[in-house]
Amino acid sequence: MRLYSLTIFALSCLMLCGVEAKAQESKQKYDVAAFLYPAYASDDVRLRPFWPMGMGEWETVLTMQQRNPGHYWDRKPLWGYINEADPSVMEMEIEQATKHGVNVFIFDWYWYDGRPFMETTLNNGFLNAKNVDKMQFYLMWANHDVLNLWDTRLARYNEDNVIWQGKVDREEFERICKRNIEMYFKHPQYYKIDGKPVFMIYDLPNLINGLGGIEQTADAIKWFRKEVKRAGFPDLELQFALWAINLNYSGLDATKSENPQDDFIRTLGFDSSTHYQFVHFTDVNRDYADIMRDVETEWNRIDVAYSFKYYPHVSIGWDNSPRTVHSAVMKNNTPEAFAEALRKAKAHADKHPDRAPLITINSWNEWTETSFLQPCNMYGYGYLEAVKKVFIDEVK
């Protein structure tokens, strides 16, 4: 039996979805956007060097106990080891997501070696789903370097050899932007704020280093905006992932401003930000309630320290031991604790009625980092039900 095939359980979900999950008749008050990691696919040959079994990073999940007998990490997906690049599978996922209040997917999007990488989940699965009109999406360009982390045969040795670089020069940057405008921004389901397509960038130092410096990057972004407007949009809503490496660029002269980090972001031309993971700014090797106190403090600090718009983010968990065996571990991140974190994010969004009611979640399916909404053997549908309770049941 092919392990990544749709399981009987998932097929049952598909049938039930048609009965139980109607599209919401009115627009949600909040846009709940879950990052989606597109590595759980079986039809992308470029995944094979990292995961030779042909099921993408499900291989890391499936083989955890084989590689590390008796290890505490033993999560299993209730939907089975599904191929998310299959449109029928994605139809089920869209039904379950929207039924529970997740109405936007933020696709991690990659470009290496002069071409896209991990695009089949988006292109073959999501965009071909019959119910794609129920879900919006946008891209986060995950422009980080690729090391050994994805390959469990090598990850435990912590070698920092670079397999692919994430930086690109101006010519390649323009190719990427033009392609994304045509292929994705113009799609009717592409997420927009005030008519402006949202595009997020993960690693600013890599972007700047590839383009040749801060001034060159600012010029490239101005060009990007012009191309977006030329395509018929009012402008671009350009986001960045908020974490230390993106604010403390080594080429920044901190002597010429009272707030150099804020000036740096404005000089580059970014409009807004959200976090990708709690692990990027706080110690996650502790209790979830303690972490959330730090998170609220950080949200309030951002409001005071920066002029760009910030959209609150909630991470479900952190434990990347499926890849690395030993890991910091977020503790007591139960569905109930997660629901309380979502309420705090909702309250923070409510403090900013002039902004889009956008809240981001890590993530839909980051199984190997143990931060996922998809149902598992430990909590069932608990995390999805938490989203539904906070953003559908409790919203009038």
Band (139; pLDDT cuts 50, 70, 90): very high
Domain boundaries along the sequence of the chain: 8-393
Which of 259-288 are b and which e, b meaning 16 or more Cβ less than 10 Å from the residue's Cβ? ebbebbbebbbbbbbbbbbbbbebebeeeb
More confident residue, 43 or 118: 118
Torsional sign, CA 185, 186, 190, 195: positive
CA-nearest of 97, 110, 92, 104 to 39 is 110
Q: State the Cα–Cα distance between residues 65 and 236, nearest whole angstrom.
A: 45
Per CATH, the number for 8-393 is 3.20.20.80
DSSP letter string, 287-324: BHHHHHHHHHHHHHHHHHH-SSEE--EEE-----HHHH
Please state, rounded to an integer, the average pLDDT across all residues of the chain: 91
Q: State the Cα–Cα distance between residues 297 and 4, nearest whole angstrom.
A: 42
CA-nearest of 351, 384, 390, 357 to 29 is 357
Judged against a pLDDT cut of 50, whether residue 26 lies above it is answered with: no
Q: Are 180 and 126 in contact (CB under 8 A)?
A: no
More confident residue, 299 or 14: 299
Region 237-251: mean pLDDT is: 90
Judged against a pLDDT cut of 50, whether residue 22 lies above it is answered with: no
Q: What percent of the chain has pLDDT over 90?
A: 83
CB count within 10 Å of CB 393 equals: 10
Band (94; pLDDT cuts 50, 70, 90): very high
The answer to whether the predicted template modeling score (pTM) of the entire model surpasses 0.75 is yes
Digit-coded pLDDT (tens) for 54-77: 999 999 999 999 999 999 999 999
Q: Report which residue type is found at 270.
A: F
Region 205-231: mean pLDDT is: 97
Which H or E run contains 272? strand 272-274
Question: In degrees, to the nearest 5, what angle opens at C-alpha 16 toward C-alphas 14 and 18?
Answer: 80
pLDDT at 258: 78
Digit-coded pLDDT (tens) for 252-281: 665 566 788 999 999 999 999 999 999 999
Q: State the Cα–Cα distance between residues 160 and 110, nearest whole angstrom.
A: 19
